Amino acid sequence: MKPVTSISLVRIAIGALSVARPDLASKAFRLDHANNPQMSYMTRMFGSREVALGLTTLLSKGRSRRALTALGIAVDGSDAFAGFDAGRTGAVSQSTSGFLTAPAALAIAGGLLGLFARDKAKAAKAAESPAGD
């Protein structure tokens, strides 16, 4: 499966869980849902963003897909920083910070891999085509 497709499907799954069961999603993210009444609201906001980004990327083609992949990389960069900063400021433990930051960093790597693999395949196809086609 292509990296961008995989990331999109994971986004949709995590987003759907976050919207439908914010308590379970918060627990999976190692966040304190029980002692933070606003956690359901924030988790659902996160979830709806993930579903929207995953679906639109999955359903797009060409330049739109490339742009949405780049947008996903930017969003994941923001998420990685948020996870890191939460650990730095003591909002979460260092282990939870790493647990929050690592998937975002992996999604960035997957998004970049998807972008560069597509560029490499496109360049190879162009090199195979006779001039003038």
pLDDT beyond 70 at 118: no
CA–CA gap between residue 56 and residue 65 (Å, rounded): 8
Backbone region of residue 28 per phi and psi (left: phi > 0; alpha: psi in -120 to 50; beta: other values): alpha
By percentage, how much of the chain surpasses pLDDT 90?
Answer: 83
| Backbone torsions φ then ψ of 17, nearest 5 degrees | -60, -45
CA angle (45, 106, 112) in 5-degree steps? 100
Token pair listed for 48: 């709806």
Q: pLDDT, tens digit, for every residue of 63-72?
A: 999 999 999 9
Report the pLDDT value the prediction gives residue 124, as an integer from 0 to 100. 65
Mean pLDDT of 44-62: 97
Residue type at 88? R
- Give SS3 for 63: helix
